[in-house]
């Protein structure tokens, strides 16, 4: 079984499920935290690869990278044995295996929760979704240049968990929890039609017709902004909710 709690709970944690940050850092340091995220998520890169990844248009010089790595080593600190969390080997750069990351924890919780199923897995999926703070790997200037494939993967996994939780909570009649799952998912991918379908079905099950219309209007606004049209599956959900039931038509 995969551990959820870290072997070293005092090790630094890199947060990437939202704006990139180092958890519990004494002061902000976005540039260094972004470098830490890159090293964690793509371990074993050469110094030249890191220089190019951090700024493809104006790659860092080796001296700049050396300075940033020294600053990051200080920022991350050392473990109980005095070993730095960023080892000094400069050939293939990687962090100590003790360093933590919310993305790794998310994946473990999501796998475990889905394996257990609805009756026993809700707690793990809730814990996974609680790690999400916004669009993954974001920064002051938007998405990091090296992060696009990872952002796409993280977004897919987050919205999958949000959808599963929304469906589980809706079937259990916990509409507030279902709405929270949808809200978190849409904070990451505000054009995800499956989540809008979930939202409509939640409000319908809750007997909240104005809420259904709000979900439809929000989806239409998102599609206009993205230049998309509503998918047939979503149109079918809307029709199923808004069309009168057969027995009502005969009255």
Q: Please check whether residue 1 lies inside any domain of the structure.
A: no
Q: How many helices (H) and strands (E) does the chain have?
A: 11, 5
- Per-residue model confidence (pLDDT) at position 142: 76
> Over pLDDT 70: what percentage of the chain?
94
pTM of the model: 0.91
Both 155 and 193 in one domain: the answer is yes
Identify the domain boundary among 69, 100, 131: 100
- Give the pLDDT mean for 217-225: 97
Which DSSP state fits 61? P
Q: Please check whether residue 4 lies inside any domain of the structure.
A: no
Both 134 and 186 in one domain: the answer is yes
What is Dmax (Cα atoms) for the chain?
A: 80
Q: Please check whether residue 83 lies inside any domain of the structure.
A: yes
- Per-residue model confidence (pLDDT) at position 4: 56
Mean pLDDT score of the chain: 93
Both 94 and 145 in one domain: the answer is no
Residues 35 and 66: beta-carbon distance below 8 Å: no
Domain that holds residue 118: 102-249
pLDDT tens sequence across 81-118:
999 999 997 789 999 999 999 999 999 999 999 999 99
- Per-residue model confidence (pLDDT) at position 10: 86
C-alpha 114, offset from chain centre = 17
Residues 6+ apart with CB under 8 A from 89: none
Q: Say how many domains are in the chain.
A: 2
pLDDT tens sequence across 16-50:
999 999 998 877 789 999 999 999 999 999 999 99
H or E stretch covering 62: helix 62-76
Q: How confident is the model at residue 2 (pLDDT cuts 50, 70, 90)?
A: very low
Both 83 and 192 in one domain: the answer is no
Both 132 and 233 in one domain: the answer is yes
Residues 178 and 161: beta-carbon distance below 8 Å: no
């Amino acid at each position: 079984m995969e551990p959820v709690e870290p072997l070293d709970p005092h090790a630094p944690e890199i947060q990437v499920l939202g704006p990139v940050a180092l958890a519990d850092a004494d002061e902000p340091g976005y540039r260094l935290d972004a470098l830490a995220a890159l090293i964690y998520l793509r371990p074993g890169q050469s110094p030249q690869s890191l220089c190019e990844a951090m700024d493809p248009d104006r790659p860092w010089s080796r001296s700049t990278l050396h300075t940033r790595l020294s600053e990051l080593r200080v920022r991350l600190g050392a473990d109980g044995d005095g070993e730095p969390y960023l080892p000094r080997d400069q050939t293939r750069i990687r962090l100590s295996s003790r360093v933590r990351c919310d993305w790794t924890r998310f994946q473990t919780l999501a796998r475990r929760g889905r394996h257990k199923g609805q009756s026993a897995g809700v707690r793990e999926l809730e814990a996974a979704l609680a790690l999400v703070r916004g669009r993954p790997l974001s920064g002051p200037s938007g998405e990091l240049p090296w992060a696009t494939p990872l952002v796409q993967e993280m977004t897919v996994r987050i919205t999958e968990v949000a959808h599963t939780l929304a469906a589980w909570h809706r079937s259990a009649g916990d509409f507030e929890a279902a709405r929270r799952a949808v809200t978190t998912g849409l904070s990451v991918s505000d054009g995800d039609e499956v989540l809008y379908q979930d939202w409509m079905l939640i409000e319908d099950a809750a007997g909240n017709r104005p809420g259904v219309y709000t979900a439809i209007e929000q989806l239409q606004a998102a599609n206009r902004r993205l230049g998309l049209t509503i998918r047939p599956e979503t149109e079918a959900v809307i029709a199923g909710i808004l069309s009168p039931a057969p027995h009502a038509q005969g009255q």
